[in-house]
Amino acid sequence: MVAYVEGLTIRELWNGAAAGGADTLSLRLMPNAESGSAPLALAQESLTAMRRLLVGSTTALSNDALVLPSRRPAVAETYAAEARVSTRPGSFILDVELPLTVKVEQANIPAWQQSLMAAPALPIGRRVSERLSLVASNALTMAQLVEDGEADISEFSDPTLRLGNNLELEGLARLGGDESTDYQLRIAQSALAPRSTPSTRLRATPAQRDRLSEAAEYLRSSQDQRGVTIQGTVVRLFREGGLGPGDVTLQTVLDDSGKAKTCIMHLAEDDYAEALRAHREGLPVVATGDLVTAGNNRKRLRDVSEFRVARPAT
């Protein structure tokens, strides 16, 4: 009776209470397989995408950038680690329990991030689930408009539309793996914290997922990022003459795609000399500045505020 009134399943009500309060993110896959089973590759891909979606939404609570840096805040990684996953039949259903609160003292979180883990009017778990619900609904709606030719992919770069960051969009796109079937997403809020709605149900088609993947790549290739720190190896150097400033090109990972890309920056003479040394000795370097898109979607680090040779990995 309580589960019916609260709009929750018996399992969600029990698990939420057992976990001390937890919202539930449920993914229903519909592969060509027996009920309760799924290909291993599909299950693995979906779990990876689910974690990506969760980290993206948690990071968004403190960073409203459309493109997130490759290094995540400790609070996001810690919260994702606290989520618990289980399966149940009904085609193939993954349930992820999102705890309403996490014990800060057990996490290696910088002091300036700990406010996110505190217990204000809405605990962190509820803020994450509400963010997930809003972004998933808005992003899928926009993806359908793009698919129908009624909107352009560039709409995803409008922060006022609350369509999600690149990590959230990529997570929503990769749920369901490469299957050419729909998936269903349900977000159920525990009764143990103030809530706006008992549950949200969404369906994503393969066409919508393709548009979401395009949107994530569009954001990565078009959005500028301020105060970014990158680490990579020097692959090219150029300057006029033997002295003075010059251009240095790094090979590095610039975003969550994990793909190695090149980034060019203009360095003063002293920093250029350090880059030359790193190139000769095969050492990694670290640079901080504003990451912008130049011609032909090339990345450039402008206004470099720090450049140094890093210690090689041991």
Instruction: Give pLDDT tens digits for 177-214.
Output: 888 889 999 999 887 776 666 688 999 999 999 999 99
Q: Model confidence over 122-140: pLDDT tens digits?
A: 788 899 999 999 999 999 9
Residue 288, SS3? strand
C-alpha closest to that of 147 among 208, 204, 206: 208
Give φ, ψ of 6 to 5 degrees. Answer: -80, -5
pLDDT tens, residue by residue, 1-54: 333 334 455 455 545 545 557 899 999 998 888 888 888 999 999 999 999 999
Q: For residue 176, how many other CB atoms are within 10 A of its CB?
A: 26
Buried b (16+ CB within 10 A) or exposed e, 109-147: beeebeebbeeeebbbbbbbbbbbbbbbbebbebbbebe
Q: Looking only at Cα atoms, what is the longest distance across the chain?
A: 81
Q: How many CA atoms lie within 13 A of 144 on its CB side?
A: 9
Strand ranges for 194-257 from DSSP E: 199-204, 225-238, 246-253
Query: How far, in Å, CA of 167 to CA of 163, rounded?
Result: 11
Confidence of residue 228 (pLDDT cuts 50, 70, 90): confident
Specify the 3-state DSSP secondary structure of 270: helix
8 Å CB contact between 180 and 206? yes
Look over the chain and give the mean of its residue pLDDT values, rounded to a whole number: 84
Instruction: Report which of 194, 132, 195 is spatially closest to residue 162, judged by C-alpha positions.
Output: 132
Element (DSSP H or E) covering residue 137: helix 124-147
How far is CA 214 from its chain centroid?
Answer: 15
What is the CB neighbour count within 10 angstroms for residue 151?
17
Residue 116 neighbours by CB under 8 Å, 6+ apart: 58, 61, 62, 75, 124
Nearest to 133 by CA among 157, 158, 108, 98: 98
d(CA 249, CA 237): 6
Pairing label, strands 284-293, 225-238: antiparallel
> Which sign does the torsion angle of CA 142, 148, 150, 153 carry?
positive
Q: What angle do CA 257, 200, 15 make, to 5 degrees?
A: 90
pLDDT of residue 153: 95
Please report which helix (H) or strand (E) contains residue 97, including its range. Answer: strand 92-99
Mean pLDDT (whole number) for 156-166: 94
Q: How far apart are CA 91 and CA 43, in angstroms?
A: 12
More confident residue, 18 or 245: 245
297: which residues sit within 8 A by CB, 6+ positions away? Answer: 221, 222
Q: Which residues are 88's β-sheet partners? A: 93
More reliable by pLDDT, 65 or 265:
265
Residue 91 binned pLDDT confidence (cut-offs 50, 70, 90): confident
What are the pLDDT digits (tens) for 98-112?
A: 998 876 444 555 554
Structure confidence at residue 147 (pLDDT): 97
CA separation for the pair 260, 258 (Å, rounded): 7
Rounded to the nearest 10 degrees, the angle between the axes of helix 206-222 and helix 166-174 is 150
pTM strictly above 0.85: no
